[in-house]
Structure 1
Amino acid sequence: MGPKRIQYDMLQKLTSANPKPYEMDLPVIRSNWVTSYRVLVSNDSHAWTAVRNESGDVIFEGNSEKEIPVLNMLPVPLVARYIRINPRSWFEEGSICMRLEILGCPLPDPNNYYHRRNEMTTTDNLDFKHHNYKEMRQLMKTVNKMCPNITRIYNIGKSNQGLKLYAVEISDNPGEHEVGEPEFRYIAGAHGNEVLGRELILLLMQFMCQEYLAGNPRIVHLIEDTRIHLLPSVNPDGYDKAYKAGSELGGWSLGRWTQDGIDINNNFPDLNSLLWESEDQKKSKRKVPNHHIPIPDWYLSENATVAVETRAIIAWMEKIPFVLGGNLQGGELVVAYPYDMVRSMWKTQDYTPTPDDHVFRWLAYSYASTHRLMTDARRRACHTEDFQKEDGTVNGASWHTVAGSINDFSYLHTNCFELSIYVGCDKYPHESELPEEWENNRESLIVFMEQVHRGIKGIVKDAHGKGIPNAVISVEGVNHDIRT
């Protein structure tokens, strides 16, 4: 793959006489990447053999720019303990930058002690593959045909390119909101190239249908007492780009954004600032409620930079009274809970709790602790950050602060508590890895849904026994109200 590091060369301006105070040049940004290289292998790290073909040493073609990965194949399979990359040419003078991923294959060696030793298998009869848009739609139809009494397919809107944003509802009375029955949602694919969450949701809807038909009491109880909504692909346009490139060539960013270049996860109204400014100016006549904060007028205008997918999600949130939700993301193994935006404008990282921090921390831990790897102290960190000290959970603001996150908006504009669940280190795992990733996340996906039944439930009625809609409920010691 091409280089991911950007080197900054600070140039000091030299003047012969009377240098002006405060005069300086902006940093020069240079990109460096390898354009050709050799590959050498060894079994003892001392004697090295270059990869060859009929013409001699193979010179592999590298990158012509820094973003798009390049796939090269060895002329013949090789078996070796060590591999060395020998750059032959690179872009510009300076540092040589290169990121490389080596794809291997298993050997049919019966004496190989490590072969399959740690491989996780599953007994669930599910469709373990990557589904493009048409295949995803067909799978939803198949689940609906298998379980017509508990499922319903609907769409919440369209993408920039006109693809419908399909969701599957799972409930004992599909299409109907029942008083006292909480509404739950899982969404995935806001970043189109983070495809594991998409496949996990498709696997989950298959699993719940099969287990309901088999009479699994846990799943039957969950379906009968909960209205569950599963939206596997929020950004199908971005997914289409990543899908065409495939697992090896997708890269870290291809398909991440919408067709018009917007990050859906951070495209929601910044209600945090409105609330905090009001709290900091207690003498001001301008009061902002601590819940169901209205969307600012500027955000609703046609000139606002808002993705059509984001507007569709907001309309969905306002239509259905969700109580709990999780948005599945990729590239890390951790559960992030709000606030996602740091309160102090002078800090880039600072733990910023909501008034319901203890609840959010429990919700995050309920998923992380039942995941097979998130709280495993023996596992290697995905990248540079290790979340073991927080038991696989993190406050969003203390990790990387953002304004306008879906989690903060959901909390401040609706009754729904939402968390970001990073389900795997690899954004786009191979199909062969999907069964193991399903086993890693299956129990967590179910346990997190079950948390929607924690706490106090009831109906607020007037003196005549009639239910009161939109009644404000306050909890002593918690500066965040909810509505019926």
Structure 2
Amino acid sequence: MGRSAGRGHREGEQWGQAVTQCCPLLGPKSDAQLTAPPRLLKGDYSKMCGSSDVLFSFRSDWVTSYKVMVSNDSHTWVTVKNGSGDMIFEGNSEKEIPVLNELPVPMVARYIRINPRSWFDNGSICMRMEILGCPLPDPNNYYHRRNEMTTTDDLDFKHHNYKEMRQLMKVVNEMCPNITRIYNIGKSHQGLKLYAVEISDHPGEHEVGEPEFHYIAGAHGNEVLGRELTLLLMQFLCQEYLAHNARIVHLVEETRIHILPSLNPDGYEKAYEGGSELGGWSLGRWTHDGIDINNNFPDLNTLLWEAEDRKNIARKVPNHYIAIPEWFLSENATVAVETRAVIAWMEKIPFVLGGNLQGGELVVAYPYDMVRSLWKTQEPSPTPDDHVFRWLAYSYASTHRLMTDARRRVCHTEDFQKEDGTVNGASWHTVAGSLNDFSYLHTNCFELSIYVGCDKYPHESELPEEWENNRESLIVFMEQVHRGIKGVVRDFHGKGIPSAVISVEGVNHDIRTASDGDYWRLLNPGEYVVTAKAEGFTSSTKNCMVGYDMGATQCDFTLSKTNLARIREIMEKFGKQPISLPARRLKLRGRKRRQRG
């Protein structure tokens, strides 16, 4: 629904106002903090609607009973009756499980008012309301499609369960067999395959010089908007490629795109059973064995920061590709099979940039997600690439239809508009073992969390509008994988050198080359001093300029072998084993002693 909300004062009342779309489920859920009696929540449908049910769910504070009133002009109100008396509806008894109440008879009105009668009394009330009903014809056509977003894209706007998701992927693959490939990265706890779709002009192979990008959705099974947006995205890319959309054709031919729409299919199936009306704020969030995938990755931040604080062991912990602790790899570790599958996937494919789509907010969060100071729950925790991450986050937020719109209401209590729709993860709330931090410290991938909508599980009637809200930003974010520098590190024979280290002067975070010797280093515009080094080779340094135009700057390196490496190569070629330096010194000392004797 389109929404406007604020806190105004009228005769001492504090209002939370929701302007709804009203078909067939009036949502998404609307929050309003109400602290001074009489406490009221007023909703404006923006047109005449028939209402049949009221659905309430709550957060830390909840209402235990309430009245419902309706009006056509917002001045004269009629209270829903139960016979001759006002009807008191049962509210919530705790914050997780939503409660659905059916009206005695359907009510036709433009406005609805909720009047709490009793509540969990800890000083405030937070109400989340959905109205079930349907739109009615407007004889004057005054409210017809006012402020409503429509789309011209011919896509499958619905919620897809596991079987339907798999079928949709198959349809996309059959439509675009030359640029798509379906594969899976593993299985869920319940044995459901974790399917992904690859979109590239050469699906199934890594092309030298072509960056790898991914979108992941559904780590929390009940945050379904990201899942549907990724399914819509793969349809859109296929259709636009076939229509010869120059922008999409260039993106597909120059990028290897991977889309994983459901990382937690077990959790999604639970949420799907409840539907958008009764799914609640947490049903299906965790895996089948009760693990939150979002913070189930190894905590590499602590390893890095302890090494930096104890300078005597700093050399043992690099600033990149930090090894996963042995305890995490053991079978007895509390690690979801879905988490292990993602880790193996990210270690196999040299991803450069990725976004994990989440729900319940409108903001883009960038790492670090974990605070560095002990005992703090919120604190800015920038990475060495903070300026790059800020740009990546802003590239999505600024092209989203609502994230940076100063006129929109906040989703809940946090106002992210003052930060242009972006936030450092740790300054929001600290999380140890997040996917974002793990990706940055263990792989080359720069990963961000993209919260794509206020409602975790919007009604399918709202999907076209949510698609329009996110479509441009989904594409723009993918295009950012082509910013910075790229190149190939080769030896004098022209062969690519794998695992060569690429260092940028002034940035305490390195990356490594892929198996073919190619690399991609995300950087903002500017001039950089870049060094390539590899074991057994002499390092090489050059200046690389990054411009403002889209497209990474080519910055190749050719490394020559060190003298010692060259000697070993020659001796091995002629069948002789190289002599280690300590052994050679001992042999020379023995000769000198014999000569003296």
Normalised by the size of structure 2, how large is the TM-score? 0.73
1:10 corresponding residue in structure 2: none
Report deviation, 1:38. Answer: 3.9
What is the Cα deviation at residue 4 of structure 1?
Answer: 2.8
Residues 37 and 366 (structure 1 numbering): CA distance in 2 closer, same or farther, change over 3 Å?
closer
- Counterparts of 1:12-31 in structure 2 under 5 Å? none
Structure 2 letter corresponding to 1:323: V
Counterpart secondary structure, 1:99: strand
CA distance in 2, matches of 1:387, 1:4: 20
Matches within 5 A, 1:221-370: 221-284=250-313, 287-370=316-399
**Equivalent-residue separation in structure 2 for 1:200 and 1:78 (angstroms):** 33
Q: 2:246 aligns with which of 202, 214, 217?
A: 217
Match of 1:99 among 127, 140, 151: 127
- 8 Å CA contact 1:257–1:264 kept in 2: the answer is yes
How far the C-alpha of 1:71 sits from its partner, in A, is: 1.3
Q: For 2:214, give the aligned amino acid.
A: R
Aligned equivalents of 2:430 and 2:124: distance in 1?
A: 32
Residue 421 of structure 1 aligns to a residue in which SS?
A: strand
Distance change (3 Å), C-alpha of 1:98 and 1:408: closer
Is residue 376 from structure 1 mapped to residue 419 from structure 2 by the alignment?
no
Rg larger in structure:
2
| Aligned positions of 1:77-92 closer than 5 A | 77-79=107-109, 81-85=111-115, 87=117
Q: CA deviation at 1:2?
A: 4.7
Q: Would you say the 8 A contact 2:220–2:286 is kept in 1?
A: yes
Change (3 A) 1:61 1:385: closer
Higher RCO by CA contacts (8 Å cutoff, separation 6 or greater): 1
Give the whole-Å Cα distance in 2 for the aligned partners of 1:204 and 1:44: 42
Q: How many residues align?
A: 456
Which of 194, 214, 225 does residue 165 from structure 1 map onto? 194
**3-state DSSP class of the match of 1:284?**
helix
Check 1:223–1:442 CA distance in 2 against 1; reply closer, same or farther (3 A cut): same
Shift of 1:260: 1.1
Give the percent of matched residue pairs that are identical in Structure 1 and Structure 2.
Answer: 82
Q: How does 1:170-189 map to 2 (within 5 A)?
A: 170-189=199-218
> Which secondary structure state, in structure 2, belongs to the residue aligned with residue 71 of structure 1?
strand
* Superposed CA offset, 1:51-104 (max 9, x none): 2366865453444655321212222223153524354x778x998967351415
| Residues 1:443 and 1:459: Cα distance change in structure 2 (over 3 Å) | same
Alignment-derived partner of residue 106 in structure 2: 76
Select the residue among 504, 508, 517 that pairs with 1:479. Answer: 508
What amino acid maps onto 2:201 in structure 1?
A: D
The answer to whether the 8 Å contact 1:330/1:424 transfers is yes
Residue pair 1:184, 1:323 contacting (<8 A) in 2 also: yes
Question: How many angstroms apart in 1 are the aligned matches of 2:76 and 2:107?
Answer: 19
**Runs (5+) with no aligned partner, structure 1:** 7-31
Which amino acid in structure 2 is aligned with residue 435 of structure 1?
P
Gaps of 5+ in 2: 1-55, 514-597
Q: How far 1:143 moved relative to its partner?
A: 0.3
1:211 & 1:452 partners in 2: Cα distance? 20
Matched residues in 2 for 1:220 and 1:40: separation? 54
Tell me which amino acid in the other structure corresponds to 1:221: H
**Do the aligned partners of residues 445 and 62 (structure 1) sit closer, same or farther apart at CA in structure 2, a change above 3 Å counting?**
same
Secondary structure of 1:76's aligned partner = strand
Counterpart selection for 2:232 from 203, 206, 210: 203
Three-state SS of the structure 1 residue aligned to 2:487 is coil
Question: Would you say 1:4 and 2:59 are equivalent positions?
Answer: yes
Residues 249-296 of structure 1: CA deviation (Å, up to 9, x unaligned):
111111111111111010000000000000111123762000000000
What is the identity, as a one-letter code, of the residue corresponding to 1:228? I
**How far off is 1:44 after superposition?**
7.0
Deviations 1:125-144 (A, max 9, x none): 00000000000000000000
Tell me if structure 1 keeps the 8 A contact 2:57–2:280: no
Amino acid at match of 2:190: Q
Range that drifts further, 196-205 or 382-391: 382-391
Task: Point out the more displaced range, 278-287 or 123-132.
Answer: 278-287
Identify which of 491, 505, 512 aligns with 1:462.
491
For residue 351 of structure 1, report the CA deviation from its aligned partner. Answer: 1.1
Q: Secondary structure at the match of 1:81?
A: strand
Cα distance change, pair 477–207 in 1 and its aligned pair in 2 (3 A): same
Amino acid across the alignment from 1:223: V
